Structure 1
């Protein structure tokens, strides 16, 4: 079939058969995606076996709860960020800390505190470096933003996230910090590790067929929000990781690479109360003021709530 014949067939099956109330946006999307899929079947001569194996793959990925991981690994989430950047530029929105992907591992409801939070439960203190992350939240003119909501989450030394990894305590390495009167936040935690896709999982199975690895560099995720400002979804990646610019999820961006500095000064160690040398990262955040008729930065998606 040619494209004209395909479009006519899809319309006959999925538009002309409607007998009830139609959600026009859903209809528009379904018709377009089906027409493109049918065209791909024609162009690539996709067999029935290949089609059904593809459907089985999505069923397995859904059952394994890996569709969010797959969206990151195939670059879909990064592509949406690039589209959002373009939409901001068209709306005249500039500046601010760069956005990057949320990923599939956020959990709502992390404990809240003002100014400072200890994120780790102490279970890895003896085998991994303590890390202090601190920064200031400002607007594009450099004005501090007190009471900004800074949600932070990251993996443990094994590359695993609490809630999904049942061996960890509730909300380990997950906190919400409200900036203090000076717009500052400080998180005491442990050095995060990068991770790889489950080696026997559905995402890595597809990546294997594409000749790709499934590894992420060491990183820390953020949601940052404040009344009157555009919500920021971002993360920083840590300098020195072998996958820093080879992130399977394409999340590393200029402006989001930080250096973990070794702190060995005895006075500073004593001031922090940690008893030994530690790592320190500075990550300042710049929010952009909300603008009328600008594309929203809120994304309505299913998220875990513990």
Structure 2
């Protein structure tokens, strides 16, 4: 069957059978997806058993709540970011902090404080390296933004996230920090570890078939928002991680790998009320102002809330 014939056949199924007004956007998307899938079946000679195996795979991935993990693993979430970058560039927006993927592990409702927060609950203090991270939120012209919100979340030493990992305390390693009068934020936490897809899970099963690993470098997620500005979704990677430029989720980007300073000066250690050296990261965020020519920066998607 030719592609033209497939297009006409699928149109007869999706469009010509409509007996009442359809949502034109949904209709156009379904028409395209079904047509392209039929063409793939034809071009690659996909057999019925292969088709139903694939459908069963997607069903099980949904049951395991892994579709949100599979999406970045196949590059789809990165592709959405590429398109958003292109749209902002067409609108004349350049020079802000690079965006990168959100991932599936945000939880709304984290405790909020002004200027400073401690993220960790202390349960891993004996094994963890203390991390201080600080910086300023600026607008596009370089003016500090007081009252901006910096939402931050990251994994523990086992590569797990609170809420999804029931062994952790409520909102461990999750906070919302409102910048102070000078646009500054700071938090104390622990140096996160990278993690991998669940062994034997849906995502890793497919990655194995593709000859790929499912590892992520250590990283810290952020939402940064301020009135009159476009919301930023981003994350920083921890420099030196073995998977820094080999992230299965394709989230590593230039401009999001700040230097990690090892602080061992006794006076600086004492000032932080610590007894051992710690790591420090300086990182500033630069937000774009609202722009009617660019698509909305706030992405509507299902998210967990505690």
Q: Smaller-chain TM-score range?
A: over 0.9
Within-5 A mapping of 1:240-279: 240-279=240-279
1:47 is aligned to: 47
Residue deviations 1:67-87 (CA, integer Å, cap 9, x gap): 010001000000111111111
Within-5 A mapping of 1:287-298: 287-298=287-298
Aligned-pair CA distance for 1:272:
1.2
Q: Distance in 1 between matches of 2:172 and 2:243?
A: 24
Q: Distance in 1 between matches of 2:140 and 2:300?
A: 26
1:82 is aligned to: 82
Aligned-pair CA distance for 1:248:
0.4
Aligned-pair CA distance for 1:21:
2.9
1:58 is aligned to: 58
1:102 and 2:102 correspond:
yes
Aligned-pair CA distance for 1:274:
2.2
TM-score (norm 2): 0.99
1:226 is aligned to: 226
1:31 and 2:48 correspond:
no
Aligned-pair CA distance for 1:54:
0.6
Within-5 A mapping of 1:73-152: 73-152=73-152
Aligned-pair CA distance for 1:275:
2.4
Q: Distance in 2 between matches of 1:166 and 1:46?
A: 41
Residue deviations 1:176-213 (CA, integer Å, cap 9, x gap): 00000010000100010000000110000000000000
Aligned-pair CA distance for 1:11:
1.1
Compare 18-27 and 77-86 and name the one that shifted more: 18-27
1:4 and 2:4 correspond:
yes
Aligned-pair CA distance for 1:266:
1.4
1:191 and 2:180 correspond:
no
Q: Could you say what secondary structure the match of 2:125 adopts?
A: coil
Q: Could you say what secondary structure the match of 1:131 adopts?
A: strand
Aligned-pair CA distance for 1:20:
2.5
Q: Distance in 1 between matches of 2:42 and 2:24?
A: 27
Aligned-pair CA distance for 1:8:
1.1
Q: Distance in 2 between matches of 1:277 and 1:239?
A: 18
Q: Could you say what secondary structure the match of 1:236 adopts?
A: strand
**Unmatched runs of 5 consecutive residues or more in structure 1:** none
Q: Could you say what secondary structure the match of 1:245 adopts?
A: coil
**Unmatched runs of 5 consecutive residues or more in structure 2:** none
Residue deviations 1:39-74 (CA, integer Å, cap 9, x gap): 111100000011111100000000000001000100
Compare 85-94 and 65-74 and name the one that shifted more: 85-94
Q: Distance in 1 between matches of 2:68 and 2:166?
A: 19
